[in-house]
A = this chain, B = another copy of it.
Amino acid sequence: MKLTHFDEEGKARMVDVSGKPPTSREAVAGGSISMKPGTIRLIKDRQISKGDVLGVARVAGIMAAKRTPELIPMCHPLNISSVNIAFDIDERESTITIKTTVKMTGQTGVEMEALTATAVAALTIYDMCKAVDKEMVISNITLLEKRGGKSGEFKRRLKDEG
């Protein structure tokens, strides 16, 4: 078991993927942000009438997916070919669930892009609502599915969503 982002002497490096054939890749990441009941109602109501918190968070998440290699030191620069972010408002649990799907044909996976988009979408919801609720909590940011590449298919079932 070894961490590929370090060489034998323990020096951090960007792993060499130049010999890998480009294949079709897909990653799905999830995450959630929980808040006070009044905050989630405010977000839900504004979606329809005035001021769309989730619309702004979706744009922020999509833009962040493209900037992943600038943020995560050992990530390869990639030309992702698709980003989709879906929000699910669970009013009973006072939680918004985020699900991001990223696709690409290339030499390396797009997990970090999906995870980063999810985190930044959640942070943007926090920013838009922090004037009324400082106690929101971002949780469960994790990889849900992954397809393509040498390591094959990965699928996980979140206990928290179970």
Interface residues of A (CB under 8 A from B): 1-18, 24, 31, 38, 42, 46, 49-53, 55-56, 58-60, 62-67, 69-86, 103-107, 111-112, 115-116, 119-120, 122-124, 126-132, 134-143, 146, 154, 156, 160
Task: Report B-chain residues with C-beta under 8 Å of the C-beta of A129.
Answer: 3
Report whether A24 and B18 are in contact in the complex, using a CB–CB cutoff of 8 Å. yes
How many chain copies? 6
Report whether B135 and A138 are in contact in the complex, using a CB–CB cutoff of 8 Å. no
Report whether A82 and B156 are in contact in the complex, using a CB–CB cutoff of 8 Å. no
Report whether B142 and A135 are in contact in the complex, using a CB–CB cutoff of 8 Å. yes
Q: Which residue on chain B has the smallest CB distance to residue A17?
A: B81
Q: Which residue on chain B has the smallest CB distance to residue A119?
A: B119
Task: Report B-chain residues with C-beta under 8 Å of the C-beta of A82.
Answer: 13-18
Report whether A142 and B136 are in contact in the complex, using a CB–CB cutoff of 8 Å. yes
Q: Which residue on chain B has the smallest CB distance to residue A52?
A: B55
How many angstroms between the C-alpha atoms of A146 and B135 in the bound complex?
A: 12
Please tell me which one of the listed residues B6, B46, B107, B138 contacts residue A3 in the complex, with CB atoms under 8 A apart: B46
Please tell me which one of the listed residues B58, B65, B124, B131 contacts residue A4 in the complex, with CB atoms under 8 A apart: B131
How many angstroms between the C-alpha atoms of A21 and B128 in the bound complex?
A: 22
Please tell me which one of the listed residues B71, B78, B122, B134 contacts residue A120 in the complex, with CB atoms under 8 A apart: B71
Report whether A1 and B81 are in contact in the complex, using a CB–CB cutoff of 8 Å. no
How many angstroms between the C-alpha atoms of A8 and B27 in the bound complex?
A: 21
Task: Report B-chain residues with C-beta under 8 Å of the C-beta of A18.
Answer: 24, 81-82, 103-105
How many angstroms between the C-alpha atoms of A122 and B8 in the bound complex?
A: 23
Q: List 18 A-B contacts (CB under 8 A).
A: A2-B132, A5-B51, A6-B46, A8-B50, A9-B50, A12-B55, A13-B82, A18-B103, A52-B52, A52-B55, A55-B55, A59-B59, A63-B73, A71-B120, A78-B79, A119-B123, A138-B138, A138-B142
